[in-house]
Structure 1
Amino acid sequence: MTQSPAGTDNRLQVLSLPELQRALCLAEEDPALQALLAQPARLLEHLMEAGRLDDALRFLAHALPGREAMWWGCMCATATLPAPDLPAERATLAAVEAWVRQPADERRRHAIIAAARNCTGLPAGWLGLAISWNHALGGMAGFGPGVEGAVFQALDRAGEGVPDADAARRRESVARRFIASGLAIAHGEAGRIAQIPPGPHAAEAGS
């Protein structure tokens, strides 16, 4: 992957057509998307204008540079921590954030071990896997698949306990908040997301 051309106002990376097809699970070429390959910000806008919010989330997971993508995954996961939250997952997210700030070997190991021990099946667990996969393959794996898993796990968690009649509206609202966070990070901002309250029946859903 290459950085966006000089002069653009964000850090989104230009994906090749095969990379884009894999990221969005496209079986066939999409001429509209192909025409925007060199304009990642415009491509993201196109997906959002078309109402393809899930694809917009997938695109961000793969088009954000590695550490920015991992930070975004942390923001999505943190915003959807249940109340009361999970201390082990919060601690793991803190470990991943520490690695993002300074990707030293000791911090990498700490984040991977914390995720594996305490966060299997949780958004933070996916972020630990992203670090592990990327390290195991010498940086060739990228962080996109793990970040994508974390973001969608967080999106699903935000919908727990929400009545069926409100589920689609809730999912769209949270997805747009996640996308706004990813765009802010692409522009060099922190991209923090205000805590998303659980659905009214979250306790029943988790029991």
Structure 2
Amino acid sequence: MNQSTSTIAPSVIQAANSLKAGQLLAYPTESVWGIGCDPYNEAAVQRILAIKQRPEEKGMIVVTDSADRIAPLLASLDNAQRESILKSWQTDSDNVDLEYQQAHTWLLPVPQTIATTIPSWITGQHQTVAVRVIAHPLVRKLCEQLVSAHNPFGLLVSTSCNLSGQSPASTFSEAYIYFGEQISYLQAETLGYTLPSQIRDAKTGSVIR
């Protein structure tokens, strides 16, 4: 493999700049590699959907760096619901027994008061948005760099880094074999979680995946 250094972001800031410029970025998550983009850039999202052969109606998972950042998305939940979500994200970040850890993504209802701040190509046909406060420290820094008037919640699209029907990349090398110089890369290791992220409904607590 003779990857071009031009496709490897040398810093989090430059990775963020590539996302802001509409590029796709592969990066490590808790368990496998993800591929993402600026969720507010429809053309970039459509490129990911095309790569994944994924219908827009399904919606997309997004990650951010802090629960406080997305407080408006948690506001419509009751205390018990919020507590479950915040506890799961805190557990994800405690980094204890990483081999048995599992990241938690939650389907959060989108209040009408902020509905226009979450693009329809992210929610798909749903009235919820799939969100995770990511435990990976490097990707947290990346999300922090994405915060702006354009992206107030510091959101980053996060879908598994693979071609349709193939296994998700678990290393940089595997990600590069899939996509080569078509996209950019933030090179680092995953956190080593062996279980895929769990998706749950914030209102009911039921496990979707």
Shorter-chain TM-score category?
A: 0.3 to 0.5
Point out the structure with max Rg over C-alpha.
Answer: 1
Question: Which structure has the higher relative contact order (CA within 8 Å, separation 6+)?
Answer: 2
TM normalised by structure 2 equals 0.33
TM normalised by structure 1 equals 0.33
Which structure has the highest helix share of the two?
A: 1
Which structure has the highest strand share of the two?
A: 2
